Structure 1
Amino acid sequence: MIADERRRMADLVDSLDAGQLDTPSLCGAWSVKEVVGHLVAAVAAPTSTTLLLLVRSGFRIHRANALLAGRMAERPAGELAALLREHAENPFKPPIVGYPGQLTDLQVHGQDIRRPLGLPHDLRPDRLRVSLDFLVGGRAVGFVPKHLPKGLRFETTDLDWSWGRGPLVRGSAEAVMLALTGRSAALTELSGDGVPAVSRV
């Protein structure tokens, strides 16, 4: 699943023009191309570069991650796409989040790119299920905002999937995934008495 998502991301990058690559993504202050740089860095950044940026950032992981994404995004888009294909089968398994975290990173960041560009999400139901289970399973460190309210029930309208007890947040699997990761872009696609709580994240 991860390898295929990397290849699909490479195909997406190859289809974008310069204006689309410079478009602000849903991921903080990153452009579309910087999001791609982040995904490439996860599998292709030299260890020496990663360690250097970690030191320069004062060992603040999120800051180092942003610096690394920016550094990788300085490369031509075609090179980034080629690196995603070259490293599609990279077996690296990050601590804590493991393979479900990598798959979720690709799917969420894919939407960080596609939604601002008005492109269809083209997400696969079986992969969405893996990511939803991961996001509510207690291992999604760095994915789920710490201030996401507890005691909510999430239900998807296009998958037989639900989790939790309490005020309801209901919508497509993609919209629920984005809500769980703190993205506000899909809030209008959600329904239920728990949506106001999610909206405040």
Structure 2
Amino acid sequence: MTDVWPIVHAERDALIADLEQLPAAAWDTPSLCAAWTVHVVVAHLVDTALTTRVGFVAGLARARFDFDRQNDRGVRRHRGATPAETLRGLRSVAKRTTTPPAPLDSRLVEAIVHGEDIRRPLAIARAYPQEAVERAIHLQSRTPRSFGGGKELLTHVRLSATDSDVALGDGPEVSGPALSLLLVLTGRAVALEDLEGPGLEPLTAELR
């Protein structure tokens, strides 16, 4: 099994390369994260790359155990006055190997899903490593929705990838690209457009 960190570092580098091509105005584009622009997501990526296990727990306690408040504070710390400044911040943390107290494969979820949060609204395509997407799917399939996963969704439908061997869940089938299944498992309803099958209607009802 491939080590997580070389994949994460490669994805950070690829995102930096894409962001270098953006005009400053594009950083204000709404991302797939509710109420967050592209700029805010990049600042969040800087924050999470710097987060340690101990630091996460201490920060959560300071935020009165409110994850949203903790994320907002992290964004405020690392969002630069300009996109160029925030991008410099992302470059400076691209090779870090620190992580919050979560399974290491959560770093794959972070890199891929937030990469799509930024790229899809900007019509930028990225071919992510298939192993990384599959590992991220399996983690999210075990993670409750209250922690950003999709475990409960798989009690209603069976998700089958058309471009890999991934097939998870019980119920009417929904099929589509593995990347789109991952996005659905992280609550990104926009990916429903890529899927089909008899389970699509109940899945849509769960996400919207």
- Fold shared, TM-score > 0.5 on shorter chain: yes
Whether the 8 Å contact between 1:37 and 1:80 is mirrored in structure 2 is yes
TM-score normalised by length of structure 1: 0.86
**Change in CA separation of 1:128 and 1:140 when aligned onto 2, cut-off 3 Å:** farther
Whether the 8 Å contact between 2:160 and 2:175 is mirrored in structure 1 is yes
Residue of structure 1 equivalent to 2:192: 187
Identity %: 31
Whether the 8 Å contact between 1:13 and 1:77 is mirrored in structure 2 is no
**Is it true that 1:112 corresponds to 2:117 in the alignment?**
yes
Once superposed, what is the RMSD of the aligned Cα atoms? 2.7
**Is it true that 1:89 corresponds to 2:129 in the alignment?**
no
Distance 2:159 2:186 in 1: 13
Shift of the alpha carbon at 1:183? 0.6
- Between Structure 1 and Structure 2, how many residues are aligned? 199
Distance 1:70 1:128 in 2: 30
Whether the 8 Å contact between 1:149 and 1:198 is mirrored in structure 2 is no
**Change in CA separation of 1:36 and 1:13 when aligned onto 2, cut-off 3 Å:** same
Whether the 8 Å contact between 1:108 and 1:178 is mirrored in structure 2 is yes
Shift of the alpha carbon at 1:41? 0.5
Shift of the alpha carbon at 1:141? 6.4
Which consecutive unaligned segments of at least 5 residues does structure 1 have?
none
Q: Which has the higher helix share?
A: 2
Residue of structure 1 equivalent to 2:149: 144
Superposed CA deviations along residues 87-130 of structure 1, whole A, max 9, x for unmatched, are: 223222322x3221011111001111111111113222121111
Residue of structure 2 equivalent to 1:135: 140
Q: Summarize the alignment of residues 1-201 of structure 1 with structure 2, pairs less than 5 Å apart.
A: 1-44=7-50, 55=62, 57-95=63-101, 97-138=102-143, 142-144=147-149, 148=153, 150-200=155-205, 201=207
2:174 match: secondary structure = strand
Which consecutive unaligned segments of at least 5 residues does structure 2 have?
1-6
Whether the 8 Å contact between 1:26 and 1:116 is mirrored in structure 2 is yes
**Change in CA separation of 1:34 and 1:6 when aligned onto 2, cut-off 3 Å:** same
1:90 match: secondary structure = coil
Whether the 8 Å contact between 1:168 and 1:194 is mirrored in structure 2 is yes
2:95 match: secondary structure = coil
